[in-house]
Amino acid sequence: MGWRDDPLWVCQTNRPCSVCAPEIHECPPRGRCKKCMGNRGRRRNCQTCHGCGFPMTDALLGLWRNRAAFLVCGGPSLAELPLERLRERGVSSLAINNAGAYAPVKAHTFGDPESKFHSAMMADANVLSFVPFGKLHYPIQIKHEGEFYPTRVKVCDCPAVFGISRTSTYSRETFLSSNSAHWGSKLQPLETQDGKYSKLCTMLLGMRLLHYLGCRRIYMLGVDFWVQPRDQGPGYAWGDAASCSNKIWDSKIGPMMIELKPIFEAADIDIFNCNRYSRCRAFDHVPFDQAMDDCKGPVEDEPLDLHDWYNKSLAKEHHARHPEPLSEQQISDLRTLERQQKAGAT
């Protein structure tokens, strides 16, 4: 199924209150579900907001439609990449867990308790936060001079926060068509073609979200699928030790990726891995620079040429020389050629 039919439940936490006048300061400046009014007891069984306390929205459905994007994970190989390039105009990227604090991405999501993830991701108004419904009403914590401090600021009070419905009942057949994003399986055995087991994987949330956002190609960064022993090096790009073993990647997460690949291909989405030495064998390797060209697509490199954009007569003259309108793919090909020529000149 395509992104236009993606039924994922997403809620919007930053709508003006529709219940009382905005001058009543006691009313929280957030929208609430009109059915349960966000009441803690009533929202749990509310069929309108599905338990989150906020109104549903499809405002972000297809936000990155027909483009390529990076899925940024936290493996050690992420530290070897020129991540500053993710700031370039036109590049879309969604990070998993604390990789969103390590790399300059456009969006992030997480699965574990919100206190495990850097608060700057949620406090940044320029980064979309996709937060599981159950985490929206908990406060963030901050770190100051090496020490953690509790706050009264809830996740739903942060800017650019959107809630997502999440499930721990995995099914490859409904991975892209269920109302909730799959997170693996926590209590019941998770059944794949290679057997049954129980395992959660936040990367699955990111994959579903990129489908919801309308991406056509996904390039994985920091997806290594192996963990160094604690005495031989860090498990994450930023230096912390990893908590899982290599057996998990080989016997559980790897098979899940293999069986999900045709599900994405059927939805006209191709997935690639930018780490040549990754043990995630489901997806073909594509170099980072080539992925960057694809993600930038029709957007030219900076500095942008701003001369003569107000000159209508000059534009009319040029249109007469180029009467056939260009498609988006033709524009992307032109920009790629420009970048190749620039690289060859240097």
pLDDT for position 166: 93
**Are residues 235 and 338 located together in one domain of the fold?**
no
Q: How confident is the model at residue 209 (pLDDT cuts 50, 70, 90)?
A: very high
Distance, in Å, from the CA atom of 175 to the CA atom of 178, rounded to the nearest integer, reads: 6
In a domain, 303, yes or no: no
108 close to 100: Cβ distance less than 8 angstroms: yes
In a domain, 178, yes or no: yes
**Are residues 195 and 322 located together in one domain of the fold?**
no
DSSP letter, residue 116: G
Q: Give 64-73 pLDDT, tens digit per residue.
A: 999 999 999 9
In a domain, 305, yes or no: no
**Are residues 172 and 321 located together in one domain of the fold?**
no
Q: How many domains does the chain have?
A: 2
**Are residues 190 and 63 located together in one domain of the fold?**
yes
pLDDT at 137 over 50: yes
H helix and E strand count, the chain: 9, 15
**Are residues 266 and 328 located together in one domain of the fold?**
no
In a domain, 99, yes or no: yes
272: domain range?
3-296
DSSP string, 161-176: EEEE-EES---STTTT
Q: Give 280-303 pLDDT, tens digit per residue.
A: 989 999 999 999 999 999 999 999
What percent of the chain clears pLDDT 90, i.e. is strictly above it? 62
Compute φ and ψ for 156, nearest 5 degrees.
-70, -15
**Are residues 190 and 323 located together in one domain of the fold?**
no
**Are residues 10 and 145 located together in one domain of the fold?**
yes
Mean pLDDT lowest for which of 21-30, 52-61, 122-131, 205-214?
21-30
pLDDT at 51 over 50: yes
**Are residues 285 and 325 located together in one domain of the fold?**
no
pLDDT for position 187: 54
Q: How confident is the model at residue 197 (pLDDT cuts 50, 70, 90)?
A: low
In a domain, 304, yes or no: no
220 close to 280: Cβ distance less than 8 angstroms: yes
**Are residues 78 and 103 located together in one domain of the fold?**
yes
In a domain, 72, yes or no: yes
Compute φ and ψ for 72, nearest 5 degrees.
-105, 115
**Are residues 233 and 326 located together in one domain of the fold?**
no
**Are residues 199 and 65 located together in one domain of the fold?**
yes
Q: Residue 156 sits in a domain of what CATH number?
A: 3.90.1480
Q: How confident is the model at residue 234 (pLDDT cuts 50, 70, 90)?
A: confident
Q: What is the mean pLDDT of the chain?
A: 86
In a domain, 302, yes or no: no
In a domain, 9, yes or no: yes
| CA distances for 34 relative to 14, 22, 28, 30, 52, angstroms | 15, 16, 14, 12, 12
Query: What's the per-residue H, E or C state across 288-303?
Result: HHHHHHHHHCCCCCCC
| Residue 122 identity (one-letter amino acid) | M
**Are residues 179 and 257 located together in one domain of the fold?**
yes
